[in-house]
Amino acid sequence: MAEWPRPASGSESPRYAGPATFFRLPLRRTGLDIALFGVPFDGATTLRPGARLGPRALREASTLIRPRHGRSGLAPFELCQVADAGDAPVRPFDVAATLAEVEGFVAGLCAGGTAPLMAGGDHLMSLPVLRGLRRAGAAPSPPWGMVHLDAHSDTAGSFLGARFTHGTPFRHAVEEGLLAPARVVQIGLRGGSYGPDDLAWAREAGITLLDMPAVERMGVAGVVAEARRVIGTGPCWVSLDLDVLDPAFAPGTGTPEWGGLTPRELLGILDGLYGAQVVGGDVVELSPPQDHAGITALAGATLLFELLCLIAAARAG
Ligand code: MN
Ligand code: MN
């Protein structure tokens, strides 16, 4: 039996010392309940690039996170064996090859029943992670539900002739049977559109769309109740695009939209997901070149820990 992986304690060595890994965890790929890994790829970005640098910035910012969760008291590293599994292989000049590489990496990583927690990278990278989890064959069978926190629906058909961009992953995921649209809720949608109804496909597919006016109207408790109703008791994914936060709290993303969630609203929504069967998740679209003072990196690292706690709680029952 391999040793139980534990984060280096800030009371034994200063948190700024040593090589940066996620939450100061050891690097390891086997014998894990939950594998944290990066996908340093932004070749599917439609506007400002930079998310390829996200995983490194998240590792660095994650040294600020202490191992016990503040509001719940949950200690994920005692409940589950968690480690930094490094980065998935990517091909910066080839989207299709990267999709295949990431899928293969996740299929191997999760073959023994390990839950994936991905740090992006642009949002297209959620697609090969879902594909890889299916190929691993150890998680409950898809289609899965999903709580998708994002300013954007990411269900477009194509951009500039390309079908695989960070604006299209979840249309593919639905069409490929990875997600059950009736069990998908998108929270925080906002911003302008290109046509009169850019969300028509998502709506007709049966996805529940909670845009910012809906969030305002329903409040956090109402959003939580609706999200729990939609995902039900079956297995679900949590996908968190950092642009769901208002740019005041997360300027370092590729396609920011004004008028988004506050951190307190977002934490309230995530707190409401305890008890859901969360099989994995991702935090994507951190773009360090657009960040200031590490504001967005801290948000991303904090939210990665929030998702880790949700997955650990689900696995621990
Ligand atoms: Mn977005
Ligand atoms: Mn997105």
Contact 274, 284 (CB under 8 A): no
Within a domain: 194? yes
Query: CB–CB of 145/236 below 8 Å?
Result: yes
Provide the pLDDT for residue 1.
64
Q: Which amino acid is at 219?
A: G
Write down the pLDDT at residue 262: 98
> Is residue 177 included in any domain, yes or no?
yes
pTM above 0.85, yes or no: yes
What's the CA gap between 200 and 186, in Å, rounded? 14
- CATH code of 87's domain: 3.40.800.10
How is 126-182 classified by DSSP, letter by letter? HHHHHHHHHHH--SSPSPEEEEEE-SS----S-BTTBSSSTTSHHHHHHHTTSEEEE
Q: Residue 169 C-alpha to ligand 2 middle, in angstroms?
A: 8
Domain presence at residue 233: yes
Nearest ligand to the CA of 170 is: 2
Q: Distance (Å, rounded) from C-alpha 233 to C-alpha 246?
A: 30
Q: How far is the CA of 189 from the centre of ligand 1 (A)?
A: 8
Q: How far is the CA of 115 from the centre of ligand 1 (A)?
A: 24
Could you tell me if residue 11 is inside a domain?
no
Summarised one tens digit per residue, pLDDT across range 17-40 is: 999 999 999 999 999 999 999 999
Please check whether residue 9 lies inside any domain of the structure. Answer: no
Provide the number of structural domains found in the chain: 1
Ranges in the chain, pLDDT < 70? 1
Q: What are phi and psi of 261, to 5 degrees?
A: -65, 150
Write the DSSP symbol of residue 90.
-
6 falls within a domain: no
For position 317, what pLDDT does the model report?
86
* Residue 32 resides in a domain: yes
Q: How confident is the model at residue 2, as a pLDDT?
A: 81
| Residue 158 CA to its chain's centroid (Å) | 22
